[in-house]
Structure 1
Amino acid sequence: MKNFLKNSVLVKSNKKQQNEKFFNILTYTLVAIVIFGGISLLWDLFEEKKNSANGFSNKKVSLDISRISEYVLEDDAELARGRNGNCSFWDCFNVYRCGQREQDRITIYVYPLTEYVDQASKQAFTLTQEYHEILKAIVESPYYTPNPNEACLFVPSIDTLNQNLLDTKLVGKALASLNYWENGENHILFNMLPGSYPDFNRVMDVNTDKALIMGGGFDSWSYRVGFDISIPVWSPRLGGHNRKVNQSEKKFLLIAAQLNMFPQHVRLLRDLAEEIGPDVLLLATCPQQQVEEMAVEPQRINTSVRCSLPKGKRHEYPRVLEKGKFCLIARSVRLGQPDFLEILAHNCIPVIMADNYILPFKDVIDWELALIRIREADLHSIVEKLQSFSAEKILELQEQGKWLYEKYFKDLPTITRTTLDILNDRVFPHLAKTSLQWNTPDNYKASHNPLFLPLIAPKAQGFTAVILTYDRVESLFTLIQKLAIVPSLQKILVVWNNQKKSPPHPSMFPKILKPFKVIQTKANKLSNRFFPYDDIETEAILTIDDDIVMLTSDELDFGYEVWREFPDRIVGFPSRIHVWDNITLRWRYESEWTNQISMVLTGAAFHHKYWSYMYTNAMPGDIKDWVDEHMNCEDIAMNFLVANITNKPPIKVTPRKKFKCPECTNTEMLSADLNHMMERSACIDRFSKIYGSMPLQSVEFRADPVLYKDNFPEKLKRFNDIGSL
């Protein structure tokens, strides 16, 4: 019993010690939590006070101009370094600052509104209304962040829109004083009117170091491709303009209303106006007396009076632009002109006469769809050039220009958002909009060009086989029988190119279950294979020579399936390459097997029927006539045509390369002629000169069925009969 009580007391004593130990640990833990919590709270308060002192907060930056804070620049403040003219996206932009959030888009921080004052001169500069609108658009955009630590890009509250209003030294001090300047890396500066008298540089005369310039006066020398962005010069006359213009109001072919043109251009235009008469309207500043007599109404303060030369008739500007089909923008001391947006807004087609001017948003907008560019040396022939445009083409240019203005240029917030969208596409190219998306109206439905076809053509259509033949009846009949069993074939057209001999009687042709027709041509021309015959009802055409009897049904069916995925390309079997000869300094046609191709011969190839129409009706120069005269190179001409418009290479399918006529002797084949290869090399050289460049694109690519060489049972493969080398 004593031992039991003794043990019981020991147990109670141990439990008491354990409880005391537990409570001590708990007390220490709570004290540590309180201490660390207090330290954390004090640190947060310190950081908040520090950020507040620097003008940062977690709220959107205030854009109330009446509450701008003042920042005094010290005399010995560091100046920003001179603009780095060699900057590119890869060396002056830190892309690793971007994409820190979960969503893939840029984040932009706007510095708080500040009035910068020079301590020595007491000079200061504040915001213009235009720059305030730009900053407001950024803050209200989805790209804005109030936290500079997570920002990808920074926009200073320093107004650099107009070079004439800047003290360059003061601006350099202000930029260098920014908390996150870091030599301008990832900073955006907006400038619409660069340069000052007497130099008028194409980019603003401010030390901007590595900053991105959103500029309105770039030429091809000052523009850093892929880094800067060309923006338009805003016109205050455009506020609220939204008037539909009727074609009946456009009574002038050309209006030249720009006031700051060079004198030699004004003299030449004045001579044209006197010679041509009412088709050309040249406007200049009116004498002061005429302006006072006209007395523009107070409510129309965004208009001015301009007088025609040489008659002096008064016109209200910019409303007069609505009466012109084309409106001229000529080179001046500054390349960027507010006239550009005024012309677009009033549905007049801009005619740009500044050879090296970088058009607004050039990187994404295809301006060839909305305006005309002429060389400065060709001003004397401008009327003849403009008269050559059809009414349909003029309407097309006007509609595209109107859509572009409403989509990207109608006000400063829209221009700002477009600029930010372009930057976002650069930083996240995998999410970028295509050129088609940038340049196609949202309600666009019509499609007459294969460049705007659906991604994959409808499978039910199938293809039409067009066989060009002269007198090889046996191989022709064999080819017809082979084509007839191809599942995707819809129709066969035999183009009989022999005028001295009639085609066989219909009863002699093979009996097939597919529609079939023979067309006898009036002249023996290779271009007959590309004529857009009314009998061709499918989008896909297989052009094939009568001696190509070695292709299997699987190869042809697979070739058509590949074309369905690339309907704007030439897709076919025999391939060739063009090479540059450094000895002769000419292009050479090469038929040797190489790892590259740039042409697919149309002796066995699929193409969209649109290309047949283009070949017949819109082939550049005298290429088509030359082909028919020399009986050679029609396939090269077609490859040039498609590559020039699409800027894409053809696609070769299946590994087969041997294409020989089994029943032909060497003397019967065009390719057996010794001069054949020399002529084809001459074709490539001649066609490249006509196009003014080499449009053919080389590619190391061939399309084969997925399971072509895999060790699978044949019943699992769709295309088993694919020929080898």
Structure 2
Amino acid sequence: MQAKKRYLLVLLSCAFLAYCYFGGYRLKSESARLPYENLPTYVDINEQFYDRDLESSPHLRRTGGTQKWASNTVNSNQKCRMETCFDFSKCRGEFKVYIYPQSEESETATILTPSPSYQKVLNVIQESRYYTSDPSQACLFVLGIDTLDRDTLSSDYVRNVPARLQKLRLWNEGRNHVIFNLYSGTWPDYAEDSLGFDPGMAILAKASMSVTNFRPGFDVSIPLFHKNHPEKGGESGFVTTNNFPVSKKYLLAFKGKRYVHGIGSETRNSLYHLHNEKDIVLVTTCRHGKSWKELKDERCDEDNAEYDRYLLCQTQY
């Protein structure tokens, strides 16, 4: 009888210790969960942890803490949304767009002429019904300075942009401004975020923007257009006569540079898989940059030859 009691006591003790061990582990695991896992589904996670994420950023630690507006929103380029970085009070009337005069953005008496590509963008805006020459009536502001090509090796690269931006009396840290960009960074890395200046709270209308840097509901993804792309296309009545589906030789075509490494390399290095030389023509070349031969891969010679083969046919697709 005494033996049974001892065995029962040992069994109960083991059960109690097991409960304490596994129960404590469960409590510890639940406390280690991310705080937003226990929040109701209707809570905006970005709003709940806005300040916490920014306070932990290296930039704000270097500058001595958080930087907030009077409206209790955080002055952070990466966190910008329409409700935090855009002044809707400027858009109460008719929607209008203002383009800065190039003379206002020039540091010297010499006015920098925009590249033909950027001038096309400005021309389209100026000829639209949304353009205004009165900044007090504008909802959006567009720079007269050319920001399309931010490759330091390009002849269209504009220098001293930060200093020029600070001289704009309506810049206001970029709020309600739109910045157009096609290329950023330079050879051989072509880093996406290398504009060479801080866009602040400005909306980026940018080509080849990754999901990492794209700010949903704020930035605008635009196609990468060629320098020879026409400012206006088609003859009168072309839209109504050019019905879909169209009868063309090529269904899909692309002809351009291939970056062996860095931004854009993963996508363009895979285009040859789709190239069938019939209705899908996707050809690339490794020949760009001063030392492209030092970085070329095993497909470069073949790709370069295929690229040259379609040189005379590029106007057909």
TM range, smaller chain: 0.5 to 0.7
Match of 1:468 in 2: none
Kept in 2: contact 1:83–1:208 (CA 8 A): no
Match of 1:89 in 2: 82
| Equivalent residue runs for 1:8-407 within 5 Å | 84-99=77-92, 101=93, 105-114=94-103, 116-118=105-107, 125-164=112-151, 165-167=156-158, 170-203=160-193, 204-239=195-230, 247=247, 249-250=249-250, 257-260=255-258, 262=260, 283=283, 307-308=305-306, 313=309, 315-321=311-317
Q: Sort the Cα spacing of 1:269 and 1:200 in 2 relative to 1 into closer, same or farther, 3 A.
A: closer
CA distance in 1, matches of 2:271, 2:133: 53
Q: Which secondary structure does the structure 1 equivalent of 2:312 belong to?
A: strand
Q: CA offset at residue 167 of structure 1?
A: 4.5
Q: TM-score, normalised by structure 1?
A: 0.25
Q: CA offset at residue 142 of structure 1?
A: 1.9
CA distance in 2, matches of 1:217, 1:255: 17
Kept in 2: contact 1:286–1:307 (CA 8 A): no
Partner amino acid, structure 2, of 1:219: S
Kept in 2: contact 1:185–1:211 (CA 8 A): yes
Kept in 1: contact 2:141–2:177 (CA 8 A): yes
CA distance in 2, matches of 1:277, 1:157: 42
Partner amino acid, structure 1, of 2:221: S
Kept in 1: contact 2:150–2:185 (CA 8 A): yes
Q: Which secondary structure does the structure 1 equivalent of 2:205 belong to?
A: strand
Structure ID, larger Rg: 1
Q: CA offset at residue 123 of structure 1?
A: 9.0
Partner amino acid, structure 1, of 2:99: V
Q: CA offset at residue 215 of structure 1?
A: 0.9
Partner amino acid, structure 2, of 1:93: F
Q: Which secondary structure does the structure 2 equivalent of 1:214 belong to?
A: strand
Structure 2 spans left out of the alignment, 5+ residues: 1-74, 288-303
CA distance in 2, matches of 1:184, 1:228: 13
| Equivalent residue runs for 1:656-675 within 5 Å | none
Kept in 2: contact 1:162–1:193 (CA 8 A): yes
Q: Deviations over 1:456-513 (max 9, x none)?
A: xxxxxxxxxxxxxxxxxxxxxxxxxxxxxxxxxxxxxxxxxxxxxxxxxxxxxxxxxx
CA distance in 1, matches of 2:248, 2:142: 46
Q: CA offset at residue 136 of structure 1?
A: 2.2
Q: Sort the Cα spacing of 1:320 and 1:208 in 2 relative to 1 into closer, same or farther, 3 A.
A: same
| Equivalent residue runs for 1:226-625 within 5 Å | 226-239=217-230, 247=247, 249-250=249-250, 257-260=255-258, 262=260, 283=283, 307-308=305-306, 313=309, 315-321=311-317
Kept in 2: contact 1:284–1:307 (CA 8 A): no
Q: CA offset at residue 269 of structure 1?
A: 6.8
Q: Which secondary structure does the structure 1 equivalent of 2:306 belong to?
A: strand
Q: CA offset at residue 258 of structure 1?
A: 3.6
Q: Which secondary structure does the structure 2 equivalent of 1:86 belong to?
A: coil
Alignment RMSD: 4.0
Query: What percentage of residue pairs aligned between the two structures are identical?
Result: 27
CA distance in 2, matches of 1:230, 1:271: 26
Partner amino acid, structure 2, of 1:109: Y
Kept in 1: contact 2:96–2:138 (CA 8 A): yes
Q: Which secondary structure does the structure 1 equivalent of 2:83 belong to?
A: coil
CA distance in 2, matches of 1:200, 1:182: 29
CA distance in 2, matches of 1:200, 1:133: 25
Greater fraction of residues in strand: 1
| Larger RCO: 1 or 2 (CA < 8 Å, sep 6+) | 2
Q: Deviations over 1:11-40 (max 9, x none)?
A: xxxxxxxxxxxxxxxxxxxxxxxxxxxxxx
Kept in 1: contact 2:102–2:112 (CA 8 A): no
CA distance in 1, matches of 2:219, 2:97: 16
CA distance in 2, matches of 1:248, 1:139: 34
What is the aligned residue count?
A: 209
Match of 2:50 in 1: none
Q: Deviations over 1:136-162 (max 9, x none)?
A: 222222222222222222122111111
CA distance in 1, matches of 2:124, 2:118: 10
Q: Sort the Cα spacing of 1:236 and 1:95 in 2 relative to 1 into closer, same or farther, 3 A.
A: same
Kept in 1: contact 2:206–2:220 (CA 8 A): yes
CA distance in 2, matches of 1:158, 1:267: 33
Q: TM-score, normalised by structure 2?
A: 0.53
Q: CA offset at residue 270 of structure 1?
A: 6.3
Q: Which secondary structure does the structure 1 equivalent of 2:224 belong to?
A: coil
Q: Deviations over 1:607-657 (max 9, x none)?
A: xxxxxxxxxxxxxxxxxxxxxxxxxxxxxxxxxxxxxxxxxxxxxxxxxxx
Q: Sort the Cα spacing of 1:145 and 1:283 in 2 relative to 1 into closer, same or farther, 3 A.
A: closer
Q: Which secondary structure does the structure 2 equivalent of 1:197 belong to?
A: coil
Q: CA offset at residue 259 of structure 1?
A: 3.4
Q: CA offset at residue 112 of structure 1?
A: 1.6
CA distance in 2, matches of 1:126, 1:143: 23
Kept in 1: contact 2:115–2:146 (CA 8 A): yes
Structure 1 spans left out of the alignment, 5+ residues: 1-81, 288-305, 322-725
Kept in 2: contact 1:88–1:226 (CA 8 A): yes
Partner amino acid, structure 1, of 2:157: L
CA distance in 2, matches of 1:97, 1:272: 47
Q: Sort the Cα spacing of 1:117 and 1:249 in 2 relative to 1 into closer, same or farther, 3 A.
A: closer
